[in-house]
């Protein structure tokens, strides 16, 4: 059901941890499943992401997508990091089962939240970046029970 890459990133996650005095920190959760992801970015004066780390309290797919997302944004510019969408993360992992797609949204949103935090701290605007949600479940249609 999971690709080898997903299993690899779940069992040997890259970039786990925190960055002290990070340039930007983003935390997002999904109230529906209760999973939480936090991404730390270290961004230099040229706007290059030098380091990316994560802490995820969540399912295996959330761990694998955070691991891959941090790999994908390291060494990239802010503009390039904005293109690391959940689709890009899933492609890099050779796909996720449909019921796990929402887990990859956490990774995309956590990167956006960390970039937003960086922009706020530095009083800048990042084109194409809007205020991230703290709960990716927000705005989804309510289920009828
Ligand atoms: Fe919630 Fe995966 S089940 S992030």
Q: Name the β-bridge partners of 130.
A: none
Residue 9 Cα to ligand 1 middle (Å): 15
**What residues flank ligand 1, with Cβ below 6 Å?**
30, 33, 35, 58-59, 61-62, 103, 106
Q: What is the pTM of this model?
A: 0.92
pLDDT at 145: 39
CATH pick for 4-122 out of 3.40.50.720, 3.90.1010.10, 1.10.3720.10, 1.20.1110.10:
3.90.1010.10
> What's the pLDDT at 133?
83
The Cα-based distances of 145 to 34, 94, 136, 141 in angstroms read 19, 34, 20, 12
Domain edges within the chain: 4-122
**Ligand 1 centroid vs 43 CA: distance in angstroms?**
28
For ligand 1, atom 4: residue with the closest CA: 103
SS3 content of the chain, % helix, strand, coil (to 5): 40, 20, 40
Distance of CA 41 from the midpoint of ligand 1 (Å): 22
Output the tens digit of pLDDT for each of the chain's 145 residues: 899 999 999 999 999 999 999 999 999 999 899 999 999 999 999 999 999 999 999 999 999 999 999 999 999 999 999 999 999 999 999 999 999 999 999 999 999 999 999 999 999 999 999 888 888 876 554 444 3
Which positions are annotated as active-site residues? 33, 103
């Amino acid at each position: 059901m999971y690709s080898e890459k997903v299993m690899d990133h779940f069992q040997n996650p890259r970039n786990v941890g925190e960055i002290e005095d990070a340039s930007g920190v983003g935390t997002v959760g999904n109230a529906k499943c209760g999973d939480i992801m936090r991404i730390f970015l270290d961004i230099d004066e040229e706007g290059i992401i030098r380091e990316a780390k994560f802490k995820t309290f969540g399912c295996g797919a959330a761990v694998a997508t955070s691991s891959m997302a941090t790999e994908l944004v390291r060494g990239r510019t802010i503009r390039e990091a904005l293109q690391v969408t959940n689709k890009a993360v899933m492609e890099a992992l050779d796909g996720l089962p449909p019921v796990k797609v929402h887990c990859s949204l956490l990774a995309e949103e956590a990167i956006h939240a960390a970039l937003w935090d960086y922009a706020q701290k530095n009083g800048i605007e990042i084109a194409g970046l809007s205020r991230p949600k703290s709960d990716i479940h927000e705005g989804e249609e309510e289920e009828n029970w």
